[in-house]
Structure 1
Amino acid sequence: MIELGPGRGTLMDDILRTFESIAQTRGRIQAVRLVETSARLQEEQKSRLSARVSAELLHWYDRIEDIPKNEDAFTLLVAHELFDAIPIHIIERTARGFQEVLVDIDRTAQTLSTSSLLINNSSPIIDSSPPNPQFSGFRYVLSGPLSPLANTLGNSSPRFSQLEKGIRIEVSPSSWSIARNIGELIGRGGGGAGLVIDYGDDRAFGSSFRGFHKHKLVDVFHQPGLCDLTANVDFAYLKEAFNSTPTNTHGPIKQHEFLTNMGAPIRLHRLLQGAKDDETRERLRKGATRLMDLTGMGVQYKVMGVTSGGKKGQVYPFEM
C-alpha cells in the first residue's frame, strides 16, 4: 500500500480498516509506504496507523523515487489532493515562441491585485482572486524570447504546439515526473493499480493558480510563505506521463460519478440506518452531500484510475 501526501493519515486509516474487514484481504498487506516530508505529520500518521498494522510494516520516504519496487507483490497506490500542490510554471505562446511568466519587483504600483496583474501590460494573468488592499511589491513579467525552459515546457506535450499566440498554460514538469514514477511502481513486477483524486480536468489551464489563507481565497502574493498556493491539475498531462510506462489510464471522471458508481448512496443509506442519533445522521448527510455536490466537489474533483500492463480493458467504475 502506497500513499503520496497522506496528511494526517485519515484516508490510509480508512483503507486499512476496510481491508481488514474483508476476508480475502485480511492480513495480506506486506507494507504500507508513505511519502511524507513533515516529521510532525509522520508522527501523527504513525500514531494513527499503528493501531491498524504492526509498526514494522510502516515506512516513510521523502520522495516517490525512494520507494523500492516490489517485484513479487501487487501494488496499490493512492494520491489524493497531491498534484494540485505541486509547483507549476506558467508559459505563454508569443510571436517569438514560448516565454515564461516570471515574478518581478514592482517599483511603481501602489496597490496590486490579481485582477490587475498584467503580462507586458496587455492581458490579465488571473482574474479570480479578490483585490489585495496592501501593496505586495510584486508583478508578473515575461521572460526573454530565448528561454530554454519555456521552450522545453512548451514542447513537452503535442497539445501545446497547437496553442494560439497569447494563450497561457500552467505546466508542471514535477507532476509529470511523479506520474511517471507512479507508473513505474504500478506497472512493473507484480503489477498494481492506483487512484489519482484531485481538482482539475482532462486539459491544460491558464489561470487557475491561486492562494488560500485561513480557508479564504487570497492574492497569490499575499503574505508569501504563509498561504497555500494551488493550481488545477491537467489530467491529460498526467496521462501522457503514464503512457510512457507499462500502465493504462481510466478516466478521469467526476467525483460524483465515481462515488455513485461505487455505491455511495447505498452505503450512506446503511450508515443512516445504523446511526445512533439524529446528530450523527445529519453529519453523515452533510458529509455525503459535500462530496457529491453537483455544484461543488462532486464535479470539481476528478478521479483517474491507473492499472498495470497489457491490453487496455474495461475497468469498473470508469468504463461501464
Structure 2
Amino acid sequence: MVELGPGKGTLMDDMLRTLESIGQTRGRVQAVHLVETSARLREEQKNRLSSRISEASLHWYDRVEDIPKDGLVVCAFAFEFGLIRMLQTTHLPYLSRTNFLTQFLSILLRSAIIHMAKLGTYLQYTQKTRGGFQEVLVDIDRTAQTVTTSSPLVNISPSKPQSSAFCYVLSGPLSPLAHTLGNSSPRFSSVPDGSRIEVSPTSWGIARTIGELISGGGGGAGLIIDYGDDRAFGSSFRAFQKHKLVDVFHQPGLCDLTANVDFAYLKEAFGSTSTHGPITQHAFLTSMGAPIRLHRLLQGAKEDETRERLRKGAARLMDLLGMGKQYKVMGVTSGEKQGQVYPFGV
C-alpha cells in the first residue's frame, strides 16, 4: 500500500483495519510505503500504524518517484503535490503560494479510493494573446490601486474589493515556459484570445507516476477525489482566512490558498491507464452505500451527541449545494478500458 502525504496516519490506519476485517484481504498487506518529508509526522505515523503492521514493513520516502516499482501491487495513494500554472490567451501565467487539496488511493484486488490532502505549492497563470501564451506574474502595484481576482468562469470572488500592494503583469511574448504549458494539452489551443488557463505540471507528473505504478507490476486501481471539474479553469485560485474568502494578495503567507482540479488534465497524464468519470461525490457515495452505512452507524451509536455528529458529517459530504456537488470522483484502473466500471456510468 502506498500513500502520499499521510498526515497523522489516520486514513492508512483505517484502511489497514478494514482490510484485515475482510477475508479476501486479511494478511495480504505485505508493506506500507509512505511519502512524507516531516520527521515529526513520520514518527507519529509509525506510532499509529505499528499496531497494525510490523515496523519492518513500514517504509518512508521523500518523493513518489522513489517508491519501488518492481512487482508492486498498488493499494493506496494520497496525492498531495500540485504545481498550478495559469496561462492566458493574448496567452497568461502568475506565481503565488497555494494549498492544493488532492488525495489518491488505489485499493488491492482492483478496487480503490483516492483521498486528497492539502499541500503548499506554487501557482502560475498563463494568458493567451494573439502572439501566443504569456505567463501571468505577480509584481508590486506601484499605484496601490484596489484589485480584484473575480473571474466569469468561477463565481467565488470576495464580497468586495480589497486593497493590495500587488498586481498581475504579463511576462512578454518570449517565455519558453508559457509556450510549453500552453501546448501541454491539445484542449488549450482552442481557447479564445484573452483567456487564462490554470495548469498544474507537477500534478501531471505525479499522476503519470501513479499511473505507471497502477499499470505495472501486479496492477491496481484507484479513485481521485477533489473539488474541480472535467475541464480547465481560468481563475479558480482563491484565498481563505479564518474560513472567509479574501483577496489572493491579502497578507501573503497567512492565508490558506487553493485552486480547482482540472480532471481532464489528469486523464491526459494517466496515458494508457484507464480512467472513469468523474462523477459527483454525492453520486459516488450514494452508489457505494453511504446512506445504508450511516443508518447502521446511527443504530449502533449510544449517545445523541455521536448520532448528531454522524448526521452532520454525512450531510456535509453529500450536500448537493456543497461538497456533494463541488467534489468529483474519478476512477483509475490498470489495463485497457473494458466497459463501464461501477459506479461510473450507472
Q: TM-score, normalised by structure 2?
A: 0.83
Offset, 1:47:
2.2
- Cα deviation code 1:144-167 (max 9, x no counterpart): 011111111111101000000111
1:5 is matched with 5
* 1:265 counterpart (265, 273, 291): 291
2:90 is matched with none
Contact 2:139 2:168 in 1 (8 A): yes
Q: Which amino acid aligns with 1:141?
A: V
Alignment of 1:239-254 (within 5 A): 239-243=267-271, 246-254=272-280
Contact 1:104 1:140 in 2 (8 A): yes
2:18 is matched with 18
- Counterpart-to-counterpart distance in 2, 1:251 and 1:61: 30
Alignment of 1:64-79 (within 5 A): 64-71=64-71, 73-77=73-77, 78=105, 79=114
**CA pair 106-274 structure 1, distance change in 2 beyond 3 A:** same
Extract unaligned runs of 5+ from structure 1: 118-122
* 1:92 counterpart (127, 130, 137): 127
Offset, 1:127:
6.4
1:236 is matched with 264
Offset, 1:138:
1.1
- Cα deviation code 1:273-320 (max 9, x no counterpart): 111121111111111000000000001111111111134332112233
Higher mean alpha-carbon deviation, 219-228 vs 251-260, is at 219-228
- Counterpart-to-counterpart distance in 1, 2:117 and 2:338: 26
SS of residue in 2 equivalent to 1:252: strand
C-alpha RMSD of matched pairs (Å): 2.3
- Counterpart-to-counterpart distance in 2, 1:8 and 1:253: 29
- Cα deviation code 1:116-137 (max 9, x no counterpart): x9xxxxx99996135575x542
- Cα deviation code 1:2-45 (max 9, x no counterpart): 12222222222221111111111111101111222222322222
Q: Which amino acid aligns with 2:267?
A: K
1:194 is matched with 222
1:120 is matched with none
Contact 2:154 2:236 in 1 (8 A): no
Contact 2:72 2:216 in 1 (8 A): no
- Counterpart-to-counterpart distance in 2, 1:96 and 1:63: 37
- Counterpart-to-counterpart distance in 2, 1:179 and 1:216: 31
SS of residue in 2 equivalent to 1:17: helix
State the number of aligned residues.
311
**CA pair 214-314 structure 1, distance change in 2 beyond 3 A:** same
Q: Sequence identity, in percent?
A: 73
2:254 is matched with 226
- Correspondence 1:109 to 2:151: no
- Correspondence 1:277 to 2:303: yes
- Counterpart-to-counterpart distance in 2, 1:88 and 1:53: 38
2:185 is matched with 157
- Correspondence 1:176 to 2:211: no
**CA pair 272-83 structure 1, distance change in 2 beyond 3 A:** closer
2:158 is matched with 129
Contact 1:211 1:230 in 2 (8 A): yes
- Counterpart-to-counterpart distance in 1, 2:136 and 2:283: 36
Higher mean alpha-carbon deviation, 178-187 vs 210-219, is at 210-219
Contact 1:36 1:62 in 2 (8 A): yes
Contact 1:5 1:80 in 2 (8 A): no
- Counterpart-to-counterpart distance in 2, 1:311 and 1:126: 35
Q: Which amino acid aligns with 1:189?
A: G
